[in-house]
Amino acid sequence: MQWQTPLIYVKGVGPQRAEWLKKELQLETVKDLLLYFPFRYNDRTLFYTISELEQRDEFVQTRGKITGLRIHGTGAKKRLHAELTDSTGSMELIWFKGIKWMEQRLKIGTSWIVFGKPNRFKNQLSMAHPELTIADELKAFQGEHFDPVYSSTESLKTKGLDSNGIKRLIRQVLQGMDATWPDPFPAAICQRLQCVSRYQALLQIHFPKHQQDLEAARLRLKAEELLALQLRVLRIKTKAKFLKPAYPMPAIGHLFSQFYNTLGFELTTAQKRAIKEIHNDLKLDTPMNRLLQGDVGSGKTIVAVMAAIIAHANSYQTCIMVPTEILAQQHFNSISALLSPLQIHTDILTGSTPTKTRQALFKKLSEGQIHVLVGTHALIEDGIPFLKLGLVIIDEQHRFGVAQRAKLTERSGTHLPHVLVMTATPIPRTLAMTVYGDLDTTLLDELPSGRKPIVTKHAKESQRLAVWGFLRSQIEMGHQIYVVFPLIAESETLDYQNLQQGYDALVQEFPPPLFQISIVHGKLTNEQKALEMNRFVNGETQIMVATTVIEVGVNVPNASVMVIESAERFGLAQLHQLRGRVGRGNTQSYCILMTGLKLSQEARYRMQALVQSQNGFEISELDLKLRGPGNLEGTEQSGLLQLRLTQLAEDTMLIADIRAFAMEIMQSQPPLFNTHMEQLLQDYAAHKNDYSRIA
């Protein structure tokens, strides 16, 4: 039997069951079945006495003799009660279905091992539909201390494929194999990674005898899935480099130093290092694929602009992509302000650019009159007529997955652009090594000097008046304020109501003409949004009421307070990102997390974490632990994250180890274990979203 053998060829499966397993659990091959791991194990060595069951709420095992048997009720209400007794007491076993059959099996005086979940009702201990084993058959467990439990579905259960049915199937498949079963890890790898063989691991994960068995099995199977992932990611990385050349950009140019000298502030050491690393990549004729990670406010935009200046010095165009129209507008404003004194021409293209304007813009692009184009992600579409596109900068990368990145490498033409990806918030180390593992990484791990930590407070509804008083004093000092409301698709209408109510309340509290309030949300047209944004940016309004459209990238240094309404409804990374909208100048800034009175444990933890930490790297790690990688933006569509056992938040060491090992394998010439690794990649190959094909 092979790893990829369709289940239909497994003895006892047949076409119908194969169809069900595919439909219900997406299990199609022997591999799928063997990698369908138990979700828990019942400890079959552990027996409770009946009196001890009073204290148990989970599935437990006990044993005793049948001392009574009675049928209650009639028709649909008919049920079978059996009394089970040991030396410490007795309990009721109850059946609502299959009564006749049970009645014939259970004889007064016979001994049974009973497995189930105890209920207590009016001082009476009972178990409904327990699993029964004749006590004499105990030997049949043959020392398998842990009994695997598999999740199944209602419809599979009716077809004999409940947990036990699946267990039987897996046992049978494993019995058809032995230690000679093909293993993509030769002995040398097993030794190096200190892990057992694949066959051994599968045996032990399904039927462990001891806790140690289970741990050894998990280690091996994690190593296997991680090595496959790393090889794939590293291959994308190498192949992307050699697919097509990029234009080398050796010159720095005189505009670079002109810009540098008129900046008005000193670059941080981290920014200088980042620019150096980027320029080192740009010099080469292999495409750069670099991830620039920096906390909010670490000054990524300047780095991007300086990269664009280098491209310009080598007479190439730069395209800067951002996720939203508002952000495109903002970036365009700030970037063109930085570049126009250098006679570097910037323009903007978004989904709402009118056709006429677009045509004129295309003409100028193709003639090389536009040097830097800012726009929304739609820009990756081929067919935008750059004269010589040399550099693509993707800002706020969380919304820009592996898929879209891969698409960039599909661009037509003889050359690929250099690509610089910038994150909105730091990425946990493990994600950087996996989901973003195809990119080289630069860290901006330093904030510009003079930044004061943002004072963060958690306030409840009852403190609202005090909060408003505080806002008033900040406005009187000449500062501006953000008030952000959550907007979540499922309850959109309700959310807009909250936003509107919040806005009305603020207008009452801060009435015109003394106070002016902007409001921005998704229901406004792009012109309206831009207008409101600009009023706030220009200081005409003191308060900006908004949904999370302002989450990313907006830069108003005069804003000193960020109020986040219903803060419990935001994720940690998102809260941190929002908070980063203030504290961008030299004034003391504040973030106020408004929540209801009742908070879940987890929400309280999130608020606390934010109050205590200003460090985006720390916060992103916490976020990963709290929410799991599936919920982090950008990971779900990555298609690379098919990890069954590895926990990104916990297996950091192992991930780093395996990544180093994968690099070692790839870098030796010829690559180590070539055929074995091909096998491994095939074993973990290609589901629909596998972008290694593209590379």
Binding site residues, ligand ADP, CB under 6 A: 265, 267-268, 271, 294, 296-302, 448, 555, 557, 584
Is the bond into 208 cis (omega within 30 degrees of 0)? Answer: no
Q: How far is the CB of 218 from ligand ADP (least distance, A)?
A: 39
Token reading at 579: 């908070």
Q: Which residue number, 423 or 646, has a Cβ lying nearer to ligand ADP?
A: 423
CB of 313 to ligand ADP, least distance (A): 21
Burial class (CB in 10 A: 0-12, 13-18, 19+), 70: exposed
Q: Tell me which residue has its CB nearest to Mg ion.
A: 553
Nearer to ligand ADP, 301 or 317 (CB): 301
Cα-based angle 162, 163, 169 (whole degrees, multiple of 5): 90
Question: Given the complex with ligand ADP, which of 228 and 394 has the nearer CB atom?
Answer: 394
Please state the closest distance from residue 514 (CB atom) to Mg ion, in A.
33
User: Would you say 424 and 552 are in contact if contact means Cβ atoms under 8 Å apart?
Assistant: yes
Q: How far is the CB of 375 from ligand ADP (least distance, A)?
A: 17
CB atoms under 10 Å from CB of 279, counted, come to 18
| Residue 241 or 581 with smaller CB distance to Mg ion | 581
Per-residue binder mask for Mg ion (CB under 5 A), 547-586, x = binder: ------x---------------------------------
Q: How far apart are CA 310 and CA 55, in angstroms?
A: 71
| Cβ-contact 452, 249 below 8 angstroms | no
What is the number of H-type helices and E-type strands within the chain? Answer: 23, 22
Rank residues 157 and 399 by Cβ distance to Mg ion and give the closer one. Answer: 399
What are the DSSP calls for 559-591, one per residue? EEEEEETTGGGS-HHHHHHHHTTS--SSS--EE
Give the single-character DSSP code of 267: P
C-beta of 635: minimal distance to ligand ADP in Å? 21
For residues 410 and 287, the answer to whether their CB atoms sit within 8 Å is no
**Residue 417 binds what, of ligand ADP, Mg ion, none (CB under 5 to 8 Å, by partner type)?**
none
* Closer to ligand ADP by Cβ: residue 294 or 390: 294
Tokens 């691991």 belong to 201
Measured from the CB atom, is 239 or 451 closer to ligand ADP?
A: 451
| Binding at 548: pick from Mg ion, ligand ADP, none (beta carbon under 5-8 Å per type) | none
- Please state the closest distance from residue 523 (CB atom) to Mg ion, in A: 25
> 250: cis peptide before it, omega within 30°?
no
The interface partner of residue 437, options being ligand ADP, Mg ion, none and the CB cut-off 5 to 8 Å by kind, is: none
Q: How far is the CB of 268 from Mg ion (least distance, A)?
A: 15
Q: How far is the CB of 438 from ligand ADP (least distance, A)?
A: 22
Least Å from the CB of residue 554 to Mg ion: 9
Q: Which residues, 495 to 554, sit near Mg ion by CB under 5 A? A: 553
Would you say 330 or 518 has its CB closer to ligand ADP? 330
Owner of token pair 């004729």: 285
Contacted entry of ligand ADP, Mg ion, none for residue 89, CB cut-off 5 to 8 Å set by kind: none
What DSSP string runs through 23-66? HHH---BHHHHHT---SEEEETT--B-TGGGGG--S-EEEEEEE
For ligand ADP, the nearest residue by Cβ is 299
Contact 89, 51 (CB under 8 A): yes
Residue 63 or residue 581: which is nearer to Mg ion going by CB?
581
Number of residues that bind Mg ion (CB under 5 A): 1
Residues at the interface with Mg ion (CB under 5 A): 553
